[in-house]
Amino acid sequence: MKVDLISEHADPLAAIGGVDSGGQNVHVAALAVALARRGHTIVVHTRRSSERQPPSVRVAPGVTVEYVPAGPAAPVPKDELPPYMAEFTERLADRWAAGPPDVVHAHFWMSGQAALQAADGVPVVQTFHALGTVKRRWQGDADTSPAHRIPTEREIGRHADAVLATCGDEVNELRAMGIPEERITVVPCGVDLSAFCPDGPVAPRTPGPLILSIGRMVPRKGVDTTIQALRRLPGAELVIAGGSEHDDEAVRLRGLARAYGLERRVHVIGSVPREHVPALMRSADVVVTVPWYEPFGMVPVEAMACGVPVVASAVGGHLDTVAGCGVLVPPRRPRALARALGDVLGDPDKRAALGAAGARRARERYGWPRVAQLTEAVYTQVIDGKVCRLAALGG
């Protein structure tokens, strides 16, 4: 089948680790390739954000990224994109009028809005990746999302042919928003098991206990909680990877480490090339990821696939992925985190058992071939549903 993926702000070819570049970029890129390997033709539509970007790029057999002109050909924070979405939608409508796909799969709320307005009868599948209700709950006045995000997400959920939730916690959130449960299917995010695996290169490291935190440099990721916990873990070192060393959050975290006298034990190293992330993970004794909230959380699954123990906050997707094969702690609780990290770092047998359990779960549940198969099944259902509706109408 011909499948168009819409990812308005998350370019699958973008460098990972910036404020607006993270799990969604990886998800869209990997899903496109995995679907193409199942014989489908995939086009990813994302907003053009640079004068250097060509109209389209073939990135893998059966996969093309098309850059949609909408607004300035320059980076724009995702929460400032709504003024350009009408143009984005118009471009999609023109593209699909000339040759519609069999199904459209929108990623994030603005993509869903554009897809539903432009699809003209083509079935639309929606993955939100994050929900405005959850962001508002945790960030309050610091939430920069447009005021219309939450009501728009409700409308998308009620009108899309199917909604893919990445975890059980998201299903509960969607139901609370009034989205019909029969439209919701759980399809998790995936991991590249050929790259993220226990065997492979290991990055250089210091001899003492080593904790790794990796991800986007934004306050909600809770890295400051890990720095506070480190005060109770004498001798342990913390490597913080992601974003730029000059990001506001990176500067804040280094300042916090200095204030606690931890500057020699906290290393903020900035962005790591994607191909080097598995080796960095394998170098750690434990990977810690304690955001205030997390729609899914790809970092713990990648660490689990590498056979590295994970300590994570008991929120969102972590309740599905980490529970039972890692250690869950309450978010924003440095003492609880310190106790959990101390238990893992101080017990080699526990580290080995957690690492083996995590690797086993990652292999069984989160490989991209399985995720693509589950996604394809939903596409088939909504396409069949369209055929049934047309037959009922005499089309």
Give tens-digit pLDDT for 41-84.
999 999 999 999 999 999 999 999 999 999 999 999 999 999 99
Q: Is 119 a domain residue?
A: yes
Average pLDDT over residues 131-142: 90
Q: Is the pLDDT of residue 87 over 80?
A: yes
Give tens-digit pLDDT for 290-335.
999 998 999 999 999 999 999 999 999 999 999 999 999 999 999 9
Only one residue has tokens 């999302």, namely 145
At 311 the pLDDT is: 98
Q: Is 203 a domain residue?
A: no
pLDDT band at 231 (very low <50, low <70, confident <90, very high): very high
pLDDT band at 388 (very low <50, low <70, confident <90, very high): low
Question: Is residue 215 located within the same domain as residue 320?
Answer: yes
Q: Is the pLDDT of residue 394 over 50?
A: no
At 393 the pLDDT is: 44
Q: Is 198 a domain residue?
A: no
Q: Are strands 56-60 and 63-68 parallel, antiparallel or unpaired?
A: antiparallel
Average pLDDT of the chain, as a whole number: 94
Question: Is residue 28 located within the same domain as residue 139?
Answer: yes
Q: Is 204 a domain residue?
A: no
At 22 the pLDDT is: 64
At 192 the pLDDT is: 96
Question: Is residue 339 located within the same domain as residue 275?
Answer: yes
Q: Is the pLDDT of residue 116 over 60?
A: yes
Q: Is 200 a domain residue?
A: no
Distance CA 310, CA 298 (A): 12
Distance CA 250, CA 18 (A): 11
Question: Is residue 147 located within the same domain as residue 222?
Answer: no
pLDDT band at 16 (very low <50, low <70, confident <90, very high): low
Question: Is residue 110 located within the same domain as residue 82?
Answer: yes
Q: Is the pLDDT of residue 93 over 70?
A: yes
Beta bridge partners of 381: none
Distance CA 218, CA 233 (A): 24
The distance from CA 360 to its chain's CA centroid, rounded to whole angstroms, is 21
Burial (CB count within 10 angstroms: exposed 0-12, middle 13-18, buried 19+), residue 99: exposed
Question: Is residue 166 located within the same domain as residue 237?
Answer: no
Average pLDDT over residues 156-164: 96
Question: Is residue 129 located within the same domain as residue 240?
Answer: no
Distance CA 187, CA 100 (A): 25
Q: How many domains does the chain have?
A: 2
Domain CATH for 226: 3.40.50.2000
Give the DSSP H or E segment for 105: strand 103-107
Q: Which residues contact 279 (CB under 8 A, 6 or more apart)?
A: 200, 201, 202, 203
Question: Is residue 326 located within the same domain as residue 186?
Answer: no
Q: Is the pLDDT of residue 395 over 60?
A: no
Only one residue has tokens 């998308």, namely 156
Domain extent, residue 245, equals 210-365
At 128, list the tokens: 């939100």
Question: Is residue 125 located within the same domain as residue 42?
Answer: yes
Question: Is residue 27 located within the same domain as residue 152?
Answer: yes
pLDDT > 70 in the chain, percent: 95
Question: Is residue 314 located within the same domain as residue 358?
Answer: yes
Question: Is residue 158 located within the same domain as residue 272?
Answer: no
Q: Is 197 a domain residue?
A: no
